[in-house]
């Protein structure tokens, strides 16, 4: 039996826990030589996501164990596109809850939201030099669709057709 995962839009009081989860994940990755996010994760970025209604938190039988952003457009990474996808960013699970399939469950939740809104795809990205994370996403059916280049990093763009209807 799986534990009850409650996903909801973050309230202002969830900002600090989201920053904590993302900073913990960034630190864990940096210890392994993977630069995915800065540590500490910039609080102002999380505040902006929360204020736009794009920040989500997930509770597992009580405690907040994960966070992510869910957007309806992503011109910074994907350019101008028709409204055919939902976009996931900054998905992180507390290390104490790793290995329980929560990342996949959160992606499926986002997939369901996108499908319910009539969108055909779920899209996300990861640092191009993060082969482990890219492989993780590919194991859930995401396919590389190009790269987005920025001043200090390159991201691989990945998408899959929505699975949930």
Examine the pLDDT at 55 and tell me if it is beyond 90.
yes
- What pLDDT score does 92 carry? 97
Neighbours of 102 (CB within 10 A): 20
Q: Are 94 and 24 in contact (CB under 8 A)?
A: yes
Residue 33 lies in a domain: yes
* Residue 11, burial from CB neighbour count under 10 angstroms (0-12, 13-18, 19+): exposed
- What pLDDT score does 165 carry? 54
Residue 94 lies in a domain: yes
Residue 159 lies in a domain: no
Instruction: List the CATH number of the domain containing 24.
Output: 3.40.630.30
Residue 133 lies in a domain: no
Rg, C-alpha atoms of the chain: 15
Query: What is the pLDDT averaged over residues 32-56?
Result: 94
Residues of the chain with pLDDT > 70, as a percent, come to: 98
Q: Domains in the chain: how many in total?
A: 1
Residue 157 lies in a domain: no
* Boundaries of domain holding 59: 5-120
Examine the pLDDT at 1 and tell me if it is beyond 50.
no
Residue 128 lies in a domain: no
Q: Cis check for the bond before 40: say yes or no (omega within 30 of 0).
A: yes
Examine the pLDDT at 32 and tell me if it is beyond 90.
no
């Amino acid at each position: 039996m799986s534990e009850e995962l409650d996903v909801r839009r973050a309230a202002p009081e969830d900002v600090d826990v989201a920053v904590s989860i993302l900073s913990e994940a960034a630190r864990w990755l940096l210890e392994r030589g993977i630069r995915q996010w800065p540590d500490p994760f910039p609080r102002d970025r999380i505040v902006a996501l929360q204020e736009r209604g794009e920040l989500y938190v997930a509770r597992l039988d009580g405690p907040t164990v994960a966070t992510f952003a869910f957007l309806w457009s992503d011109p910074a990474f994907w350019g101008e596109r028709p409204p055919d996808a939902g976009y996931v960013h900054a998905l992180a699970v507390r290390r104490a809850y790793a290995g329980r399939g929560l990342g996949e469950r959160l992606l499926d939740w986002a997939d369901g939201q996108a499908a319910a809104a009539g969108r055909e795809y779920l899209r996300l990205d990861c640092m191009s030099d993060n082969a482990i994370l890219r492989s993780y996403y590919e194991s859930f059916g995401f396919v590389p669709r190009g790269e987005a280049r920025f001043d200090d990093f390159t991201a691989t763009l990945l998408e899959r057709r929505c699975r949930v209807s």
